[in-house]
Chains A and B, each alone.
Chain A
Amino acid sequence: DAGVIQSPRHEVTEMGQEVTLRCKPISGHDYLFWYRQTMMRGLELLIYFNNNVPIDDSGMPEDRFSAKMPNASFSTLKIQPSEPRDSAVYFCASSPGTFAGELFFGEGSRLTVL
């Protein structure tokens, strides 16, 4: 299996621009998570989906952030407009929802907002 695939791996943009991060989860996994990692705050859960339906978006920092999962094999995280404080590594993870609830992470999208 190819694992969780994220794109782009690196994104540098200017403040005010729209940013779209993409994720392809592992086939057959029912859960998809978006996390953000920074030195100051560590790994923070932004939102997660079960069977393409958003279950908990309480971690989404503000209305500038939105996430969608139009089908079982694709999800996007969008930031509009972007700000320098959004600079972070954004991870997508998927899970089969088994006993342990193991998360399989992608390699992350490193976002820099100038």
Chain B
Amino acid sequence: QKEVEQDPGPLSVPEGAIVSLNCTYSNSAFQYFMWYRQYSRKGPELLMYTYSSGNKEDGRFTAQVDKSSKYISLFIRDSQPSDSATYLCAMRRAEDYKLSFGAGTTVTVRA
């Protein structure tokens, strides 16, 4: 079983819809949780990060971490065609900078 599980989708939504993405993990030592966005044929880029449990909001993006359930989520409000990309969750322990990635969910926002 992988340390980080993420449904690869694909997910297709109309413009303006809320996109909901999530990951589960098995390693209770993970403390830092991140979401990366990867456009086709590009490297991943960091969208948001959260330390430990809780919510974090940045514009149209909200990240949630529930450590008791080992479950993290990313919500994209008022989705735009430019949000079409693959979204990867990533997480790491406090002791090192090794990131473990989910498989990535491919999202298409239809105009």
Contact = CB atoms under 8 A, between A and B. Distances in A.
A95 B97 contact: yes
A47 B34 CA distance: 20
A19 interface: no
A91 B98 CA distance: 14
Interface string B41-52: 111111001010
A84 B100 CA distance: 25
Given A56-B96, A100-B32, A100-B34, A108 B101 contact: no
A105 B43 contact: yes
Contacts, number: 56
A43 to B, nearest CB: 4
A48 B98 contact: yes
Q: How many B residues are at the interface, by size bracket?
A: 20 to 34
B108 to A, nearest CB: 17
Contacts of A33: 97, 99
Nearest to A105: B43
B104 A105 contact: no
A42 B104 contact: yes
Nearest to A48: B98
Interface in A51-95: 55-56, 91, 93, 95
